[in-house]
């Protein structure tokens, strides 16, 4: 099978403060992907968009090894909320 990207799907359940993960990346790779993505957000500027109010937030990261590009899709509505959830994920990664 020839994949052009690897995917990390994160669902964060706000009320229970729990993460649900679907991924074709191992735990070490998940951590590296999220850390690399967050480092790339430094200096990106403030996001003034209003955050969405959801019970479950979904963040999907796709990594393309050919060019080392990372794409993100999310239902947070705001980059600060998205990045905060990802930082929380990094703190909890050993429990996920």
> Over the stretch 1-23, which tens digit does the pLDDT of each residue have?
457 999 999 999 999 999 999 99
Checking if the pLDDT of 92 tops 90, the result is: yes
Give the per-residue pLDDT at 47.
Answer: 86
85 pLDDT tier (thresholds 50, 70, 90): very high
Distances (CA, A) of 26 to 6, 30, 34: 10, 6, 12
Q: How many domains does the chain have?
A: 1
Specify if 68 maps to a domain: yes
Question: How many Å apart are CA 63 and CA 83, to the nearest integer?
Answer: 17
Question: DSSP letter at 65?
Answer: T
Question: DSSP letter at 3?
Answer: -
Specify if 83 maps to a domain: yes
> Over the stretch 36-78, which tens digit does the pLDDT of each residue have?
999 999 887 888 999 999 999 999 999 999 999 999 999 999 9
Give the per-residue pLDDT at 43.
Answer: 81
List beta partners, residue 12. 19, 57
Specify if 75 maps to a domain: yes
Specify if 71 maps to a domain: yes
Give the per-residue pLDDT at 82.
Answer: 97
Host domain of residue 56: 6-95
Q: 60 and 10 in contact (C-beta within 8 Å)?
A: yes
Specify if 1 maps to a domain: no
Specify if 49 maps to a domain: yes
């Amino acid at each position: 099978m020839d994949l052009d990207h690897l995917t990390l799907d994160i669902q964060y359940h706000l009320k229970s403060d729990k993460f649900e993960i679907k991924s074709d990346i191992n735990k070490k790779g998940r951590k590296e992907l999220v850390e690399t993505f967050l480092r790339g957000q430094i200096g990106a500027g403030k996001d003034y968009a209003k955050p969405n109010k959801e019970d479950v937030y979904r963040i999907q990261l796709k990594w393309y090894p050919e060019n080392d590009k990372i794409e993100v899709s999310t239902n947070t509505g705001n980059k600060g909320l998205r990045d905060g959830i990802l930082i929380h994920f990094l703190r909890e990664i050993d429990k996920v």
